[in-house]
Amino acid sequence: MSIKLGVLLSGSGTNLQAIIDRIEEGTLDATIELVVSSRPSAFGLKRAEKHGLQTLTLSKEVYADPLLADEIIAAELKKYQVDYVIMAGYMRMVHDPILAAYPNRVVNLHPALLPSFKGAHAIQDAYDYGVKVTGVTVHFADEKYDCGPIIAQQALVVQEGWTVDELEEHIHQIEHVLYPNTIQLLSEGRVHVRKNGTVCVD
């Protein structure tokens, strides 16, 4: 079955683009009903508009009250009958108004192998630590930052001599495949959260 997505972003929207591309080539059974940006200047909005997608941008003044902002976003997502909320470089936490409306249906992408290197600077932190293996995590978001049940992970061996920019480039290459693949698993109804908070994929 096809699922309806609401995508939250803050920046350039490369993961939004990867999802759009997979939908348009027919390898992802989903539609994007709404793209929400926390920044009016985000290039991801231009990507959305180019493909004729509905967009929503909230001002800094609205975001000054995070719960109010999330109430507005949740109401809009419901209006567009969204099935899953896809965080794609969304640099804000989601709070109860969204989480309660979409239990185990708010999905986040993190550029490290959680629970290692949480936070907004995961790629730089992993690089500075000198790890030999890092990667990408797709997980359900909850009320804690970069926590929640892990759906999928893919490891990346860090090559000697890479700059942090080269590491970031390879992380993004993984993201642009892993995220649409994981959303397809959701579309196929193959992702289940167990009572103990872990995920099984059948």
Please list the active-site residues: 110
- Distance from chain centroid for Cα 153: 13
| Backbone dihedral angles phi then psi of residue 55, each to the nearest 5 degrees | -125, 160
- Alpha helical stretches, state H, 8-146: 14-24, 43-50, 60-63, 66-79, 96-101, 122-129
Contact 31, 19 (CB under 8 A): no
The β-bridge partners of 191 are: 201
The β-bridge partners of 133 are: 157
The beta strands (E) that lie in the chain are given as 3-9, 30-37, 55-57, 84-87, 106-110, 133-140, 150-157, 191-193, 199-201
